[in-house]
Homo-oligomer: A and B are copies of this chain.
């Protein structure tokens, strides 16, 4: 793999992801980066998010709809509220033994797994309580 350059744009993208405690989409980062420099193109942001994720500097979280990114680079699970779309981290450790077990059972070289929980957050539950079906 070629060596990477440390460009101003790449630095801004990385800083933008690290500055956020939530799970920003590419568009979110695009907006943040442009607050610092309005000339940075969308293509550059997408390219850099992919490069940074591949390099392990950020985590690429794949959720139905839009991809999101995470400054936490350690693998972990996510919880999506299907009511409001809020995405949070699951307070449980990544279970690497699942990968090993599946590798042993299938012959695959299992690199990782993604786990996404879906449900309703307390706020959305309250909002729907009236017309609970």
Q: Which residues of A contact B (CB under 8 A)?
A: 62, 64, 67, 79, 81-82, 88, 90-92, 98-99, 101-103, 105-122, 125
Contact = CB atoms under 8 A, between A and B. Distances in A.
Given A62-B64, A64-B62, A92-B102, A113 B111 contact: no
Q: For the complex formed by this chain, how many copies does it contain in all?
A: 2
Contacts of A103: 119
Nearest to A65: B62
A65 to B, nearest CB: 9
B105 A91 contact: yes
A108 B99 contact: no
B102 A90 contact: yes
Counting chain B CB atoms within 10 Å of each CB, the highest count among A90, A98, A109, A116 belongs to A109
